[in-house]
Structure 1
Amino acid sequence: MPAFSVEQLSAKSRLLTLSPVLAKLPYLSQFLQGAAVHRTGRLHVRSVSADAVLVWGKKPSAVKGERYAVRHKLPIMRLEDGFLRSLGLGLHSPPYSVVLDDEGIYYDASGPSRLERLIQQPLSKTQAKRASALMHAWQQGRVSKYNHNRDLLKLPAVPFVLVVDQTYGDASIRFGLADAERFWQMLDAALRQYPNHPIVLKVHPDVLTGKKRGHFDALEQRLSATDRARVQLLAEDAHPASLLQAATAVFCVTSQMGFEALLWQKPVYTFGMPFYAGWGLTVDAMPAPKRRCAISLQQLIHAALIDYPRYLDPETSQACEVETLLDWLALQRAQRERFPRSLQALRMPRWKKPVLRQFLQGSQLSFIAQAAERDANQPLVVWGVKSSQQLAAPLLHVEDGFIRSVGLGADLIRPASWVLDDEGIYYDATRPSALETMLREQDFSAGLQARAQQLIAILLQSKVTKYNQGQSCWQRPDGQLRVILIPGQVESDASIQLGSPVLKTNLALIEAVRAANPDAWLVYKPHPDVQAGLRVAGSAEQQAGMVCNEVVLAEDMAHLLTQVDEVHTLTSLTGFEALLRQRKVVCYGQPFYAGWGLTEDKYPPARRGRQRSLAELVAAALILYPCYLSHRTDAYATPELVIAQMQQQRQQRGDAAPWWRVLLRKLISLNKF
């Protein structure tokens, strides 16, 4: 063990670096448990008292730091990217995982490293179980070291054997005790050991464009015509998960893809000595260092992904466990893969354009003003359905989600949730939507339903609804046996035109409810956009007070729902929020939550009818269907995180709109946005 070890690192520690780039690494202090990092440019002068010298791996830039450490008799700590690094590459995507090694560095097989020592540690049953669970989470999350690329457009025909090239001069080749000739030995071995399989040769995309060199420039000269015909070059800059999942076996020299292939439980052949070779888990062309011995795959996983690296939660910038980062990266990847690689958006208001870019952050997005400008090869993004009825598919319809914001959408409050639907849209009952198809056809796992139940509890505890504003003062009248809430809607909205086949106005709804419930106490609440003056009131809506017992204006919907017995609605989301609170809901239209056995439906939707539990409805409507964005990072988020952030926002702002919001409402009413 070194004189100053990783275990001794704390907020009181002082590290020294000669690298200006390393000194500016984002989150460096958090990775180092609060240790102070000082930078010096003077090799011969010990400028500050330090516990160790910090260098970046074994890069050429580390040489000065090594010399400084020798001269001043200080231990060295080497920092490198972790094996589950980040969403993207380079400076624009800082690492969320690093490794810190006080004994060497993992890719240098010429000497020991901290990782080598950790790999050999025996595991308890709990640790082994965690390692196995992590392996399966890696597969299910389809993650990799970098996670910005899309999956392959088209997988090679199976079965195939994957051979992984590396860029010429990659330092891990030399430190992995290999050279250029090892790559040819690798390719030859793959051809001989799998004579009936095509060989997919994964080369770096920059190699084919000539920006970088690989190791297989002379395929035509070094391979026979028969062998050359079996080799397929693959240079697409794609995410490796689908490739590793489909491969029969993987051949590599020192590439991390060999380690990831082990996580996919594939046979791995190595022709150098990477950190995962020499332990009996791979077929190795080189003899293993005597330091290495037979271990289990769980030991390798536990050491390389749990014990050795340090992780940060991208949402909090605080230390976290590997599972937290893996789940976050898996969510980013899953949401990016939902949508086409390139799209055009038609007639989007100025304020929505940057928001749409965030919700489609994994796609190339351009904006057009007229449908005639459309590229027929690209799906078209449209808001709602009104503007899309004369447009040809493929279309992606966008609308507010069900947990939207703290404040009104018509106020241009930034949304935390949108839905993006390639079938229709949830409020259009005249045709299927992705949400309806999901509820009609999909089966939900027990784990997802348990998560939905927990989400319901969180929503009720946090009192979060769609807009999350208003006061909590109203109390039900004493002595009233049945109190019915009637939520008002904006009558010009498509949700009424397309989701309520018979009744079309708020007053018609109120009169129908009164006719069916002559003795009930009716409470009417106008739509908040109408109340704020952002949308026009419905025809004869001012007569609501003549039919209802009471009209409430500024009440918080979450509080109001605790005071009533039933909700009667056309298509309002309030009906869904009432279901969450175990209130009886009567639908006079066909909202997305009607027709599944949870509501009393006056006009049942013909296409629906499958009986669904409340947990299944919530799983579809709040977890699987919408997209959420983190208020803090603009990355994709879970509904649980968004709810927590909304609670914080609600505590920070009062109920009254600030003066600038009142002014903005007037500008919006003049169509200035």
Structure 2
Amino acid sequence: MTPLPFLRSPPFPGIASRVAAVSILRERAGEPDEVPDSVIEQIAAARVGGAYWGRQREGVKLVARAGCCFSRDGLDRREVVILPLRQPAKAYDPWALVAQARSVHAKADDELAIIAGMLGVAVHGPDGEIIAPERLRLEAKRAVAAASYRDCFSGKAVGVDQAIAQLAEWGRHLQGNRHIAAASGMAFWKREAMRRFLWDGVRSPPFLSPRAGVVRARREDGALAIWPSRVPSSLQADAPDIAVARVEDGFLRSKGLGAALTPPGSVVVDRSGIYYDAGRPSDLETLLATHAFSPMLVERARRLRETIRATGVTKYGQDAGQMPSLPSAKRTVLVVGQVEDDLSVQLGGAGVEGNLGLLKRARRAEPDAHIIYRPHPDVQAGLRRGHLSDAVVHDHADALDSGAPLMALVQAVDDVHVLSSLTGFEALLRDRPVTVHGMPFYAGWGLTRDLAEPNPRRGRKLTIDQLVAAALILYPRYLDPVTCLPCGPEIMVERLGSGSTSSISWLIRMRTLQGKIRRFMTVSAERLHG
């Protein structure tokens, strides 16, 4: 049997093990005394090593490797787990098994024994004799020193601490997918990406109709993952006994319009609500309201925000148009339009009626300002609802812009007015003033001027880097467009900044052409009717 590194990567479907590997066994192992105790403590805290992505099982009291002698001492057979010498394809998570056990029976250099030593569980050798904790700590250090470590995204050599951090990130991602029994409402062109996003270490959930998904989730006592806009709004009311995980695009995604069939590079999977629905709690809102942001996490968020600003990465991509001329002696305000039938408008708009309502309210709030109106790119491309004619725009705004580099424009004006647009969040990333007419996830934390009624669940004062830590690091999942591995936001920003994104498929080209035809017909009708 070929030996495996202790700190090894999950067997991500469709990805070669050499691509995903964070560790490679050395021909000549390093010395265990070169491994500090802090590394062992990191591993124990992260619970990585062995098949940590495997199946989980409850009610375990004794774990043994095949061939070891032990006494059941009246234990029920369901409370005893005997693991084969060769790891099966669908292995158990050894951390979950050992953490429940009162004893482990294995050789001192066995992964089960090493993990038990880290968790403080008694270990008996094959002869039944107890193995000293000091010996188990030594074997743990030997296992770490037996491999060299690499960054799976760049291929460069790294320290073991970085490999542990990467495995821990993957563990958090996979844990978030546990007990998802089925997925419904996932567009067929997103499904390859969704299989990767929702893989839990053992399987990806099947794509089923909402009705079949409810049946499967009920049978397996699991959750149904849904894309909210593509399933009946009555689903939750019709099946209140089913746990629902709502899936949506994240805040950093691959370049291109979502409506143009560009697969997402980032999604969120929310078990309690969804970030754009201000009427109920969400996992993101709970993070923002309660999470104890460590100095290390906040510093990571600060560096991430600096990188986003330096690379110019934005959800809406780079526009090639010219910047509009702005008056120097007058306050300038950018009003950002949205897709009117988007759920973020319907559920986070705080009663404002679409783009015209937003534009009117912005003029009332800024009667003397020079207002520039910016339509949403999906609307401008003719792919979604929310178009305002030029004449209607000029009744309430001084200028209409649809091609200037958006973030350059955001940084050039004195204030940005939004309903619930993510442009407001991106403006905050760049330290720009934001006035909010609705109730997006970033409102209510002391970072924006809020014109809607206060949300009683919010009110905690946050820094911009705490907001970034929750919204861009803790809440979403990312897929590296190069390796297709789950990654952190830093890798996604690096890829977006370098142009390493998904290729344009024939579906995307067809959808873009459809949008151009629709846009041409809309503008022609406007001209015909004056």
TM above 0.5, one fold?
yes
- Paired residue secondary structure (1:365): coil
**Corresponding residue for 1:380?**
224
**Corresponding residue for 2:522?**
none
- Paired residue secondary structure (2:8): coil
Residue 606 in 1 paired to residue 506 in 2?
Answer: no
Distance 1:364 1:82, change over 3 A: closer
**Corresponding residue for 1:240?**
94
Structure 2 counterpart of 1:612, one-letter code:
L
- Percent identity reads 32
Alignment of 1:454-603 (within 5 A): 454-471=303-320, 473-474=322-323, 477-538=326-387, 543-603=392-452
Q: Distance in 1 between matches of 2:135 and 2:77?
A: 21
Per the TM alignment, residue 670 of structure 1 is displaced from its structure 2 partner at its CA by: 9.8
**Corresponding residue for 1:645?**
495
Q: Distance in 1 between matches of 2:210 and 2:193?
A: 20
Distance 1:592 1:81, change over 3 A: same
Per the TM alignment, residue 486 of structure 1 is displaced from its structure 2 partner at its CA by: 0.7
Indicate if the aligned counterparts of 1:507 and 1:540 stay in contact, CA closer than 8 A: no
Indicate if the aligned counterparts of 1:631 and 1:645 stay in contact, CA closer than 8 A: yes
Distance 1:517 1:309, change over 3 A: same
Q: Distance in 2 between matches of 1:141 and 1:472?
A: 47
Q: Distance in 2 between matches of 1:473 and 1:89?
A: 44
Q: Which moved more, 1:360-369 or 1:564-573?
A: 360-369
Structure 1 counterpart of 2:107, one-letter code:
V
Q: Which moved more, 1:195-204 or 1:353-362?
A: 195-204
- Paired residue secondary structure (2:206): strand
Normalised TM-score (structure 1): 0.67
- Paired residue secondary structure (2:234): coil
Alignment of 1:417-428 (within 5 A): 417-428=266-277
Structure 1 counterpart of 2:7, from 66, 84, 89: 84
Cα deviation, 1:427-482, whole Å, max 9, x if unaligned, reads 11222222112222332222222222222112111211112221374265252342
Cα deviation, 1:482-504, whole Å, max 9, x if unaligned, reads 22111110112121111113211
Residue 365 in 1 paired to residue 205 in 2?
Answer: yes
Alignment of 1:401-420 (within 5 A): 401-420=250-269
Structure 1 counterpart of 2:155, from 317, 325, 338: 317
Cα deviation, 1:60-79, whole Å, max 9, x if unaligned, reads xxxxxxxxxxxxxxxxxxx8
Indicate if the aligned counterparts of 2:482 and 2:501 stay in contact, CA closer than 8 A: no
**Corresponding residue for 1:141?**
46
Q: Distance in 1 between matches of 2:448 and 2:25?
A: 54
Q: Distance in 1 between matches of 2:118 and 2:389?
A: 65
Per the TM alignment, residue 335 of structure 1 is displaced from its structure 2 partner at its CA by: 0.9
**Corresponding residue for 2:190?**
352
Q: Distance in 1 between matches of 2:12 and 2:421?
A: 44
**Corresponding residue for 2:143?**
304
Residue 281 in 1 paired to residue 134 in 2?
Answer: yes
Structure 2 counterpart of 1:256, one-letter code:
E
- Paired residue secondary structure (1:596): coil
Alignment of 1:423-462 (within 5 A): 423-462=272-311
Indicate if the aligned counterparts of 1:407 and 1:469 stay in contact, CA closer than 8 A: no
**Corresponding residue for 2:81?**
202
Structure 2 counterpart of 1:100, from 20, 23, 26: 26
Per the TM alignment, residue 556 of structure 1 is displaced from its structure 2 partner at its CA by: 2.5
Q: Distance in 1 between matches of 2:508 and 2:81?
A: 55
Structure 2 counterpart of 1:384, one-letter code:
P
Distance 1:631 1:272, change over 3 A: farther
Per the TM alignment, residue 140 of structure 1 is displaced from its structure 2 partner at its CA by: 2.4
Cα deviation, 1:159-202, whole Å, max 9, x if unaligned, reads x5x44223xxxxxxxxxxxxx5xx22xx15x96xxx99999643
Q: Distance in 2 between matches of 1:271 and 1:518?
A: 82
Per the TM alignment, residue 659 of structure 1 is displaced from its structure 2 partner at its CA by: 9.9
Structure 1 counterpart of 2:92, one-letter code:
A
Name the structure with the higher helix share: 2
Q: Distance in 1 between matches of 2:328 and 2:500?
A: 33
Per the TM alignment, residue 352 of structure 1 is displaced from its structure 2 partner at its CA by: 1.9
- Paired residue secondary structure (2:188): coil
Indicate if the aligned counterparts of 2:246 and 2:270 stay in contact, CA closer than 8 A: yes
Distance 1:571 1:89, change over 3 A: closer
Residue 252 in 1 paired to residue 106 in 2?
Answer: yes
Cα deviation, 1:364-418, whole Å, max 9, x if unaligned, reads 4122235266313342222125734211242121111111121111111121111
Superposition RMSD on alpha carbons, in Å? 3.6
Q: Which one has a bigger Cα radius of gyration? A: 1
**Corresponding residue for 1:165?**
65
Per the TM alignment, residue 135 of structure 1 is displaced from its structure 2 partner at its CA by: 1.4
Indicate if the aligned counterparts of 1:569 and 1:589 stay in contact, CA closer than 8 A: yes
**Corresponding residue for 2:524?**
none
Q: Which runs of 5+ in 1 are unaligned?
A: 1-58, 60-78, 103-113, 167-179, 213-235, 284-296
Q: Distance in 1 between matches of 2:213 and 2:261?
A: 27
**Corresponding residue for 1:389?**
233
Per the TM alignment, residue 345 of structure 1 is displaced from its structure 2 partner at its CA by: 2.3
Distance 1:422 1:356, change over 3 A: same
- Paired residue secondary structure (2:134): coil
Indicate if the aligned counterparts of 1:470 and 1:554 stay in contact, CA closer than 8 A: yes
- Paired residue secondary structure (1:368): coil
Aligned length: 501
Residue 666 in 1 paired to residue 513 in 2?
Answer: yes
Q: Which moved more, 1:143-152 or 1:536-545?
A: 536-545
Q: Which moved more, 1:352-361 or 1:536-545?
A: 536-545
Q: Distance in 2 between matches of 1:318 and 1:272?
A: 43
Q: Distance in 1 between matches of 2:324 and 2:484?
A: 39
Structure 1 counterpart of 2:479, from 618, 621, 629: 629
Q: Distance in 1 between matches of 2:482 and 2:419?
A: 36
Q: Distance in 1 between matches of 2:287 and 2:487?
A: 21
Q: Which runs of 5+ in 2 are unaligned?
A: 519-530
Structure 1 counterpart of 2:147, one-letter code:
P
Q: Distance in 2 between matches of 1:524 and 1:309?
A: 57
Distance 1:541 1:618, change over 3 A: farther
Structure 2 counterpart of 1:270, from 108, 113, 125: 125
Q: Distance in 2 between matches of 1:206 and 1:270?
A: 15
Distance 1:200 1:270, change over 3 A: farther
Q: Distance in 1 between matches of 2:505 and 2:91?
A: 48
Q: Distance in 2 between matches of 1:266 and 1:373?
A: 40
Q: Distance in 2 between matches of 1:457 and 1:670?
A: 39
Per the TM alignment, residue 334 of structure 1 is displaced from its structure 2 partner at its CA by: 1.5
Distance 1:359 1:529, change over 3 A: same
**Corresponding residue for 1:151?**
56
- Paired residue secondary structure (1:282): helix
Per the TM alignment, residue 658 of structure 1 is displaced from its structure 2 partner at its CA by: 11
Per the TM alignment, residue 584 of structure 1 is displaced from its structure 2 partner at its CA by: 1.4
Indicate if the aligned counterparts of 2:225 and 2:245 stay in contact, CA closer than 8 A: yes
Structure 2 counterpart of 1:281, one-letter code:
E
Q: Which moved more, 1:526-535 or 1:362-371?
A: 362-371
**Corresponding residue for 1:7?**
none
